[in-house]
Structure 1
Amino acid sequence: MKLKSILALAITFLVSLSLLIGSYAIFNPIKLAKEKEKALAEIKIMMSDATDFTSNPLETIDVVEILLSAKVYKGSEGLGYVYEANAKNGFGNIKIMIAVGLDEKISDLKIIELNQTMYQDKTTKLLQDYKYQKLSPTITDQATGATSVSMNTLMDMFRALGSHHAKVEKFPFVMPYEAFYGEYTIASTTTSNVSGAAVKVEVINGTTKSGKVISLTKAGVYQTGSLTEKEIMVQVALDESGKILGVLLPNESYKHSLGNFYAKALVYAQSFKDMMINEVPDAYTGSTNDEGEPNNSKMLIHELMLIAGEVFLG
């Protein structure tokens, strides 16, 4: 009788264990699929073309928790990286999400939670100042010397995110002019100084097009009411006929105001796309009185476009 009881208990235990394992095998993949679907929906807010992602190991760096770390794909092609991070301080917490392109520059940002008692507007503005910055452990602080705890927490978060990103296996490197010429080689490089601008001309032989990339660097007034001049670089990609294939404004060489000012300057630079270089208007036509517009930067960009035309036409 005792043996029968033990046998019955053993059978009951084995049946229960089998049911438990079976339930886990059935329902856990469903749970994981739903979690991934939810994460992908959040990622698509930052990168609308995303179709899939793979997760990287999560970690905590100092007080910064990395809550989401994803390599993002469009089909089988790498699209970039999306990270979510949270940090606590004496006033509460800050949670942010950022998107990073294949060039490792921050392409989009948003605050998810900002539970702070002071400097909320300044902290929100500071977040946007990181847009277009290259994400690295040595990312430049955008409010050096700030006394606000919230702003310093945010800067700590970007340094931690830079350290985390440095550990992530990267997608294959895309050459900077590949979007204009396909795979390419640089046949020759010459440098000169034209109208006060440092000029570099690279002759490009590409698989889809050939032409020249003209990089121009010059200093100009960046803030109305100040005589201080700072440099920017404009890179003009041209085909052999002089058609503008695109205009780059490398943020690491852009010393004027960043954030939304840089974003608006970039839109202006890219407005020359598909124009012939000899058809760039002789003068900047934007209003210099527009509030919130980087008109000094736009005028300098326009001047550099005219110099690019002068260089291309010889």
Structure 2
Amino acid sequence: MSNSPTYNGNHSSRRFSGKGEQSIFLGAASSGKLHLLDKNHDNRIIWLLFAAPVMALLFMILPAIVELHGVGADIYRFIEPLIGIPLNFFILVSAEVFVDYSEHERKFLFTITEKGFCSFLFTIGAALYAQGAGMHSTAIIAKDKIQDLITENPNITSQFPAINSTLEYMETDLEHVAGYYIYATGAAIITWAHLLAYRRQRHDEISNVISFIAFFLGSFFYAVLLTSVAIEFPKGTLVGLIYVLALGVPLLAFMLKSGQLFSKGRRLVPQYYTLSYGLALIMIVIWVAVNGGFVDRRQAGWFDH
């Protein structure tokens, strides 16, 4: 009996390496209801990869530059996960593993399919992302209210010394440490889910100039996002440097082994993150060199409010 795989008309065409590992190639055929042959599918992934960091940067940088107060500012801070998580979710489910309607899905871990494990990983990341963002935003709201109270009643801190310790707890422990670290951990896990889902997927080269520019700018903005997060919290630049090296170096090795590091999007998502980590590494090193150490933006005197 032949060991060659067989497929019906609804299955994606796959190419197999000599080791028997499936190597997914988008553009070779259609899969189920989603026509992967259509170039628009790759373009959708590219524009999602562009939009996700841009939206996150808008919600992160504006409050750092402009002091936001009032109900509108509070709502603005809480909206970010409602936009960021769906954008990242759409990136995840655009992977071929989510649109392959094969009857016999390969088990990834015990009885869990690859699609199921990617979904589980993303869910954990999204939960941490939302919790961290919520904790961070809540701490800012509480901190601002306490500061307003102190401004209106300068003598209140001498009457109630615990107010200062409460303010420090809100600003340092909840906002700058717990909130940011939980938020950043969730974002990192979401990235891992993307890389896991797309690790075997190959695409046609990007032929459209606008799409290629969007792909490059998306990587650049994601690098800016990584750097912005790193400089936001204490020791964040050191943690950020370790993170981009710990994930970027193996990812670079993976791309070099694939021989498609410099291709025009043949390994779309892994290439995107490889480029982003490389750019983020350069940005963090420049920040450390310019500011004389692993300092955050407040310690460096940038937009200290």
- TM above 0.5, yes or no, is no
> Per residue, is there more strand in 1 or in 2?
1
State TM-score, norm by structure 2. Answer: 0.24
TM-score, normalization by structure 1: 0.23
The structure whose RCO (Cα within 8 Å, separation 6+) is larger is: 2
- Judging by fraction of residues, say which structure has more helix: 2
Greater CA radius of gyration, 1 or 2? 1
